[in-house]
Every structure is written in structure tokens, then in C-alpha cells.
Amino acid sequence: MRLVFFGAGYVGLVTGTGLADLGHDVLVVDIDADRVARLEQGEIPIYEPRLSDLVRRNVRGGRLSFATKISAPFDSADAYFLAVGTPPGPDGAADLTAVMRASDTIAQTAKQKALVVVKSTVPVGTCDKVQARVAGAKVPLEVVSNPEFLKEGDAVNDFFKPDRIVLGVPSEEAGEKLRELYAPLQLRGERIVLTDRRSAELVKYASNAMLAMRVSFMNELARLCDATGADIHAVRLGVGSDTRIGKRYLYAGPGYGGSCFPKDVQALAALGRESGVRLTLAEATHAANEEQAKFLCQLVERAIGGLAGKQITLWGLAFKPETDDIRESPAVKLTKHLLEAGAKVVGHDPEAAANYVKAFEGRVSVRERDYDAVEGSHALVLLTEWRSYRAPNFDEIRKRLVGGEGKDAPVLVDARNVWRPQDVTKAGLRYRGVGVPTTTPDAAPRG
């Protein structure tokens, strides 16, 4: 098939490249001329494992190309995919400006009957609006909903081995055409969810909100554990052993971030308000997530006796490993609280450091090497569990941090609960996790 993707972000670039790798001819269109030029030169503007090799291979094979506008032969495409951003407005509702602008372009450009596939995360009823928007086209255009479920950091694998593909279609013909498109992925049975457009649109929001709720609930429980002396690890094991609940997404941490969970939870709550149905769980999920950054800041402040004039090191600036995306990342939220309290912040991240520095416009600094970022700081906070942070040299960290012995020793705040407290205290450091008992090294001098 001949396919056009609007948007060269995570969704458009990964999905378009994946379909090109399955043998289709794909054009990815983006209004950002600089981004398009970089892609044409083989430079990938985002960090996503395995993606750069796939892009270069399919560009070399003539199946993948990039442009700022549609030209022949792609004005006679079989399907046009909307993979543009839907950022939150002031009230949390999704901004559909880019979706509607792309829809207008399709209506003005298409020269043959085609599908308009909405992959952007949009409120219920958006496909109906897009259908009305393209009604004036000279050729028949049928709008379908095909929400994406790509995890940043593992998006390529998610494309080729999806848990499910949701198809919201208004006709049997549209459903069969999409089944044909995805047939090489060899999906069978319930892994293809064929439904109406409005249900498909809601599936995406409901999925992300459900996962975000689990994260926020565990973080609230972790704060309760911190106040009562309980251990969130034991709570997780006890609760997760119930087969009705399961253990996935039950880890306490610094809160969720990224381009999906924060935006989609707020958009779902806004959709509820617009529809006269208050979604109190979605609203509470967002509120609990915002509270977690404040809790982490308080955790650091209590551990070192105030923040004004103190230097704090953050390891992990991206919202999750294997990405350079800092949107709504716990590091960004915590940094704002630390700066407001008068602290100096130094960061390190294998991929996201440049984006982090740019976001704070000179108010923070980063180091190229992880241990160098620790030099002269009063505390180290682990926020993103990159593999390189999982087994550090705690003795080296101890040498670089500022602090004395015993209760005055430097502190490590493990916001991901991945370090073993005994390894930390053995090096003469204090350990603070999220919802786990605190530990202090023996006050006796170390040999």
C-alpha cells in the first residue's frame, strides 16, 4: 500500500517506519522543516532503541521518505495516518488543532478513495469531527480510529509484537483493509479488537488512566508507609499476589511522566466534565502524581536538614530509561521544587541531559560523567533506573559527596527502590527509599 503519515514524532516515525519495513511505501510529513531535513540526512531527532537502523534501511530501500508537504504519487495514497500531537490545554482537554489542520490538508490533497486513520490520542467523538471535516473532499474518505500503544524506549518492539491492535471502523470494508495492512504481524483472536470509532477512542484513554491509577495508588501507599513505618516492598508482594490484582505496575517511585500518562489522564478527566460525568478516579490519579514530586523534595530536605544553599545531584533526567524525553519527567518536577527552595541542582542522564538543560535555561547544570555530577553535592537522588545506575560504586560516591559520619553521613535517595540498603550503608552512606525503612551506617570509623 501507499501510506502517508502526518507527524514525525514517536508515533508517526515508529509506525511509519515499521510499516515501511513490512513492505509498504511510506511518506512521513511534518511541518518542522528542520526535523525533516535531519531525517533526510539520516539523523534521528529522538532517541529510541533500534529506530535509527530501521529508518536508514528503509530510506535506503526506497520505501520511506520525508517531506514538509504531500506530492505525487502520495496524493493518491491508500491511507492517511494522523499521528500529530494533541497537547493539553489550560483545562487539561486535548488540543485538536493539529488534527484538524492535517484533516483539511488531506481533504484538499487526496486524489483517490482512501482511509483516514486517526492514531493520535483524541477525545471520544473526534473521528466524527474529522469525518465531517473531510466531507468536502473530491474523493470518498472514510475515517477510522486506530489508537497507538507504543511505549517509549521499547516502541519498535511494541510495533512488531503488539499486545493488541484496536480498530474502530464504520464499515466492514474499512475493517478488512486495516486487517490486510497489519496481517504481516500475524495477530490472531482477541489481539485484534474490532469495534466502533467512539469505543476505540476511549480504549486509549482508559488504558493509560488505568495504568496511571496503579502507579499513583502505590505512591500514595508509599507515602503512608513512610509515615507509619511499614515497608512498601512487603505491601506490594502481599497485594500483588492476589491474581485478581497482579504485580505489574505496582512499584512505588517518583511518579509517572512522559507524553502519554499525564496528558491522557487529564484529558480523560476533562472529557468527563464536558460530558457531565465527573471521573473522580482520574482526577485523583493526577493529583496524587503531582503530590509525589513534593514528597520527594520533602524527603531530601528532611534528610539533609534544609535545602537552601545545598547542592543536589539527580541521576536520571528522562521520564524513563531508553529515551531522551523529559516531558513531565519526575526529574523536571523535582528540580522545580528544589530550585524554589534555594538548592543548586546538578544532573546526569545518558541521553536526556541536553533536553534537561534547555528546559531550565541555565538554572541547572549537567555533567558528562555520572560520578562527576556527584562531586560536592549533599545528596544524590536516583530518579530513572538506567542500567548504568543499578550497580554503582558506592565507595566512589561516598568520596565525592559532602558529609560526615553516621547520622551526618551523605544521603542517597533511591526514588526507584532499586539499590540494596546494605550496600549503601556499607559505604558509609545513609539510605532513603520511597516507602521503605531508612538506614544509617554505623557511626564507628570505617577501615
Q: Residue 297 catalytic?
A: no
User: Which residue of the set 127, 225, 260, 297 is catalytic?
Assistant: 260
- Other Cβ atoms closer than 10 A to 161: 11
Sign of the C-alpha dihedral computed for residues 224, 228, 234 and 235 taken in this order? negative
Dist. CA 48–CA 369, nearest whole Å: 21
Task: Report residue 206 as a C-alpha cell.
Answer: 482508559
Contacts 24+ apart (CB under 8 A), 243-249: 249/211, 249/214, 249/215, 249/218
Dist. CA 334–CA 330, nearest whole Å: 6
Element (H, E) at 344: strand 344-348
Task: Report residue 306 as a C-alpha cell.
Answer: 534544609
Nearest alpha-carbon partner for 201 in 138, 265, 122, 278: 122
Is the Cβ–Cβ distance between 80 and 4 less than 8 Å? yes
Is the Cβ–Cβ distance between 152 and 320 less than 8 Å? yes
142 φ/ψ angles, rounded to the nearest 5 degrees: -110, 125
End-to-end CA distance of the chain: 70
Dist. CA 232–CA 250, nearest whole Å: 10
Sign of the C-alpha dihedral computed for residues 148, 151, 153 and 154 taken in this order? negative
Sign of the C-alpha dihedral computed for residues 413, 415, 418 and 420 taken in this order? positive
Residues annotated as part of the active site: 260
